[in-house]
Amino acid sequence: MKRLDPYRWEVPIDYKEGMRVPGLIYADDKLMADIEKDDCVEQVANAATLPGIVGRSLAMPDIHFGYGLPIGGVIATDPDADGVITPGGVGFDINCGVRLLTTNLKQEDVQEHMRPLIESLFHALPSGLGSKGKITLSQSDAKKVVTKGSRWAVEQGFGTTEDLDHTESGGAMEGADPDAISKKAFDRGRKQLGTLGSGNHFAEVQVVDEIYEADVAKAFGLWKGQITLMIHSGSRGFGHQVCTDYLVVMEHALRKYDIQLPDKQLACAPYSSPEGQDYLGAMVGAANYAWANRQAMTHWAREAFEKALGMGPRDLGMKLLYDVAHNIVKLEEHTHEGRKRPLMVHRKGATRAFPKGHPEVPEAYRHVGQPVLIPGDMGRYSFILVGTPEAMEETWGSSCHGAGRLMSRKAATRLAKGRSIFREMEDKGIILRAAGRRTVVEEISEAYKDVSDVVRVVQGAGIATTVAKVRPLGVVKG
């Protein structure tokens, strides 16, 4: 690899046979030392061999090994140049994403009520592997959810139209194709709407600890000492099944279209092919399901706050600051080689980070840029950033999505053996509630990079600007 500056490392185009573009990894010395421990650099190079890829195969500073494309990977393919679409470039948890709600509350308003508040959230937002929610979708409603996304939830009374305005893509992408989604996927999704799930998913009550960009924070409605709620979840078993189904389809497509790849996990099809269009229609449906999922949870989280604190909606003032997707592929217009063109931008463990003035940034934030929400681990802190013009020029308007895992779940479990993670968290002033101990030990802070290291690189490289830091007071783990 060739170091370009303190925050950029190039994977040269001759690093591996078949690379069509170079790779670019955002990292400093500290992060690169960990990045080189697994095979994610190979995955950056593998992605560079995909037909129709343009620019560079990108990796954000939270990069770590994933299925096909690394977590933290960003690639763009040109549909007009035989560009492909790949499920491995999106991942299994389609539109896993995060949203942040602001409140009118100060820390002293909730400090004495944190335990009942977390208990109330735990019961409002079903968590754990295979958890089921309060909604059972009929076949007809399931198709409406995958078509309408968050709007379906709002139509059922789960939120407001202002929530839609502050959700990426308004909470629904155009082009969902229910006929391209298997019965098994619909069956897995029927009872899981409005649930956190397991793994790294969470709901977290936080306090704003630091403000770095006062004007932008004001535009976002953030102030020091304010209570916020962050929710991280995705498309549950529904999206997982969509990805699983289309990995089989894409393996056949490799042979059909004579596509040679160094890693079958990047199995793909030309964007314009029947297989490519079917996957896109199913992926959009799963993305819309995920937005509806987070919107339903937002409604029940508001109710949980009202119940635990004995306050009405007006006093609580719980507003959705923004909702961003992490695992998604979108047809977006970008400037490449001097002209605007539609590109298929795959973000896997990466966040859209559009700058001020972009028409897809909500009107309320268009004069400052798109909020970029970067959760850390459950024991330290998270960050709110804002998109920049540099990201639009260099990363297809993308930034990192979180801290990034530092060790496997098995390794984290070994490290946590004999420890009481619940007590350790409480010693830090954090109330922790979870469906079981297994997820908690897999998600200990040491399992993740320090998200401040990741954000420092993002800021140093200019692909997002830090606005505020929040720290957890109470966590519901999936």
Active site residue 401: yes
> What does the pLDDT look like over 286-319, one tens digit per residue?
999 999 999 999 999 999 999 999 999 999 999 9
Picking from 122-136, 177-191, 443-457, which range would have the lowest pLDDT averaged per residue?
A: 122-136
pLDDT of 133 reads 80
Q: Residue 437 pairs with which residues in a beta bridge?
A: none
Alpha carbons 298 and 230: distance in angstroms, whole number: 10
Q: CA separation (Å) from 120 to 71, 352, 403, 435, 476? A: 33, 32, 27, 14, 10
Greater model confidence, 103 or 197: 103
Residues 50, 266: contact at Cβ < 8 Å?
yes
Name the band, by pLDDT with cuts 50, 70 and 90, for residue 117: very high
Give the residue-averaged pLDDT of 109-113: 96
Read off the pTM.
0.97
Q: CA separation (Å) from 261 to 251, 268, 271, 289? A: 11, 9, 16, 31
> What does the pLDDT look like over 367-403, one tens digit per residue?
999 999 999 999 999 999 999 999 999 999 999 999 9
Give the residue-averaged pLDDT of 96-113: 97
Instruction: Exactly one of 240, 299, 326, 401 is catalytic; name it.
Output: 401
